[in-house]
């Protein structure tokens, strides 16, 4: 049979197939080959009863994350507070880049809009328009969690596997509770069970929300460090990648080269200056990064 892992807990994997959830374990050779099944994996399995079965094979993954440990993620909802904590275009861009690297489609959801003035809202509208121009869905309403914004997000969640990410205090769990109020108690229990240092149990699951599936562990944080060649960075800025063929030089890094289409677009105001500033900062960071050598065991 084929199915999708919906939950992992203490070495057990709950696989959903044809409307039924099967409790399974991984075959012993998985450990020998150092293969760990992940929530979100499509798998082949055998099971005589829903309470007992074995995973035989993990089908090819589209992508895989380490925090949360979920595979085959379609999109990441970047929950971004406009205030408290203070908004940072740099942090937002780093989160978007991390999703691009992981081949996960980003969605930007602004929260805490009730804490800023109408004039500040207007500035965020301009910024949101710039991100929409890149191709990112952006949800920004005058009041946080307005029904129009929630309806837009519900439509985006439908038929997709999503992760929720953002700074502590940005409102990730609150957003989930507005989308699916019945999750309120479950979210609290999950966050308690995942309290690092106090519990050895690690429970990860995909929750049915708005016709899609959402990982129950907000806090995707793979954007903390980037490990790639600085010359590859531009391809993870969609607007840079689209302009690159117009640059004079193949392999243009968009910094010092003449006749660079990206720099021309920044000067013309068709590429966000803040995005280019983030790019320059990250290029410098990646250039100065010391290589990591892994010792052979």
pLDDT of residue 199: 40
The overall average pLDDT reported for the chain is 89
216 has binding-site annotation: no
Residue 103's SS3 state is: coil
Give the residue among 4, 38, 35, 28 at the shortest CA–CA distance from 18: 4
pLDDT given for residue 219 in this prediction: 55
CATH of domain 75-215: 3.40.50.300
Tell whether 252 is in a known binding site. yes
Query: Which of 115-124, 172-181, 238-247, 267-276 bottoms out in mean pLDDT, i.e. has the lowest?
Result: 172-181
74 appears as a binding residue in the annotation = no
Q: Is 32 annotated as a binding residue?
A: no
What are the residues whose beta carbons fall under 8 Å from the beta carbon of 18, sequence distance 6 or more? 1, 3
Would you say 169 is a known binding-site residue? yes
pLDDT at 27 over 60: yes
| Position with higher pLDDT, 296 vs 106 | 106
Fill in the DSSP letter of residue 68.
S
Helix (H, G, I), strand (E, B), or coil: what is residue 76?
A: strand
pLDDT in tens, 188-239: 444 444 444 344 447 889 999 999 999 876 555 545 567 899 999 999 999 9
Tally: H helices and E strands in the chain: 9, 11
114 is annotated as contributing to ligand binding: yes
170 is in an annotated binding site: yes
The pLDDT value given to residue 194: 41
Check the annotation: does 57 bind a ligand: no
197 marked as binding residue = no
Distance CA 91, CA 70 (A): 23
CATH class entry, domain 2-58: mainly beta
Annotated binding residue at 162? Answer: no
254 marked as binding residue? yes
Contact criterion met (CB below 8 Å) for 108 and 76: no
Give the lowest-confidence range in 116-120, 170-174, 208-212, 242-246: 170-174
- Written out in words, the top-level CATH class of the domain with range 230-288 is mainly alpha
Is 143 known to sit in a ligand binding site?
Answer: no
Per-domain residue ranges of the chain: 2-58, 75-215, 230-288
Judge whether residue 290 has pLDDT over 50.
Answer: yes
Q: Report whether 20 belongs to an annotated binding site.
A: no
pTM (2 d.p.) = 0.89
What are 74-114's pLDDT values in tens digits? Answer: 999 999 999 999 999 999 999 999 999 999 999 999 999 99
């Amino acid at each position: 049979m084929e199915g999708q892992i919906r939950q992992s807990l203490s070495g057990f994997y709950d696989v959903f197939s044809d409307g039924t959830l099967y409790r399974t374990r991984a075959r012993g050779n998985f450990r020998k080959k150092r293969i760990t099944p992940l929530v979100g994996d499509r798998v082949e399995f055998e099971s005589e009863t829903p309470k007992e079965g074995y995973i035989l094979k993990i089908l090819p993954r589209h992508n895989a994350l380490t925090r949360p440990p979920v595979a085959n993620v379609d999109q990441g909802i970047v929950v971004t507070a406009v205030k408290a904590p203070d908004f940072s275009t740099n942090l937002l861009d780093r989160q978007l880049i991390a999703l691009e690297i992981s081949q996960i489609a980003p969605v930007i959801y602004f929260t805490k809009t009730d804490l800023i003035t109408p004039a500040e809202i207007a500035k965020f509208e301009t910024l949101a328009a710039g991100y929409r121009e890149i191709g990112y869905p952006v949800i920004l309403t005058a009041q946080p969690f307005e029904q129009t914004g929630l309806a837009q997000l519900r439509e985006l969640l439908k038929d997709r596997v999503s992760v929720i990410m953002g700074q502590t205090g940005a409102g990730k769990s609150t957003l989930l509770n507005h989308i699916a109020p019945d999750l309120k108690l479950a979210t609290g229990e999950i966050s308690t069970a995942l309290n690092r240092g106090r519990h050895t149990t690690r429970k990860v699951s995909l929750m049915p929300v708005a016709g899609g599936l959402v990982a129950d562990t907000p806090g995707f944080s793979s954007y903390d460090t980037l490990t790639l060649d600085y010359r590859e960075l531009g391809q993870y800025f969609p607007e840079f990648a689209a302009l690159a063929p117009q640059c004079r030089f193949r392999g243009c890094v968009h910094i010092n080269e003449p006749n660079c289409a990206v720099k021309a677009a920044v000067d013309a105001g068709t590429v966000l200056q803040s995005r280019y500033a983030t790019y320059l900062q990250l290029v410098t960071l990646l250039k100065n990064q010391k290589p990591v050598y892994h010792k052979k065991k």
